[in-house]
Amino acid sequence: MTFDKFYSETKDGFFKYLYYLCSDYETASDIFQESYFRIYQKYQDNPNKGLLYKIGRNAFLDTKRKKKEIYVEQDFLSSFKDEHNNVSSPKEEDVLEKMLAKLDDETRHIFTLKIINDMKYREIAEITGHSEANIKVIIHRARKTLKKHFQEV
């Protein structure tokens, strides 16, 4: 796959992921550019989507450490669709946002990769360094936790 084709196929989902991670358009843009630059430098002949997301996540963590700011994940619930592919209502979004805040950072990160980008378990495993089976368990537990909190509300 050529780098141009790789870029055109991954740019929208990757930027969306970074934006939800950073909650800041400018920071997400900087990390976006830096990530593609890094992957182009070393892997332009054979770019990999999983590697791109891993580079982006690491660049985000580096930025976070440098600025020593706490980034709150953006309300990515506008992309959270129900079983009928309808966007949740504002009231449901508020409830879900509060519930997602109860998930730990790693679980929320993995859940975000699955929900926002509809990534395969294998791809998420490559990005996070967990096994594919572990990713399935984490997502299952996150859904179970969210369902439990939703029923309490």
Per-residue pLDDT tens over the stretch 3-38:
999 999 999 989 988 887 877 889 999 999 999 999
Residue 93 is predicted with a pLDDT of: 55
- At 100-153, the pLDDT tens digits run 777 887 888 888 788 777 889 998 998 888 999 999 999 999 888 888 877 776
Q: Is the pTM of this model over 0.95?
A: no
Contacts of range 30-39, beta carbons closer than 8 Å, 24 or more positions apart: 30/63, 31/56, 31/59, 31/60, 31/63, 32/56, 34/59, 35/59, 36/7
> Side chain identity at 53, as an amino acid letter?
Y
